[in-house]
Structure 1
Amino acid sequence: MRYKGGRDAAVLEQMVDEISDHALFRYCVEARCETSVPAETWLVSLDDRLIDHESGIDLDRYVWGVKWRCLDPGAKLLPQSEATCRWSKALGSDFHEVRIETNAHNLTSLFSDPFK
């Protein structure tokens, strides 16, 4: 089964645009997480006090200890790919790929059934 686009694509794009506090991607067959923080910042931000907002706030470094991340620039539904086609064919269900960019990490997920 191939990704058809159309109304389903519009619904998915709207869902991706509305990702705020929580998103659940069911039937996730692949997930990747990579840093968006430059190596130079990592190098000076390895102090364990930086994993807690209270103990790290006065240090002149990147404070990892927060309870949320800014979606900057946010979430984007990616075009159909070899991987989404392969999974769609193997499982007989449409698969999609989303990339969520934050101020600390970039997340990519291959999934079949999105729910908020």
Structure 2
Amino acid sequence: MKFMLIIHMNPDTWAGLDTETQEKVMNGHDAFQAKIRATGEMEGTWALADPGASAVVSQRGGKRTVTDGPYLEAKEFLAGYYVIEADSRDRALEIAAMMPEVEFGGLGIEVREILHYAGPTA
């Protein structure tokens, strides 16, 4: 079973952490990645740019519209994600609990099963 571990970021919460704690979270990903690579459960990880640098593309009546981001006006945003392979939802939750963000309130990890995966084409 594939799962996405979605990292939600609240900039206010992040700014409230001291520099040492912020570095602990960021550096904690190296250890986390090593652990789940060793078990063969890591598929990949992607960190995303700040939503202010995003663009939203829509089309209506054949006319494309591009609006500079962010897409939503919200406190939290999608900061990045991991894709893992786990034997069960319970195992995916265990893996998510190893992530450095879970120690700090307001920096949550959402766990969602991937229902369809096409993978890269040859």
Q: TM-score range by the shorter chain?
A: under 0.3
Which is strand-richer, 1 or 2?
A: 2
User: Using CA pairs below 8 Å that are at least 6 residues apart, which structure has the higher relative contact order?
Assistant: 2
TM, length-normalised to structure 1:
0.26
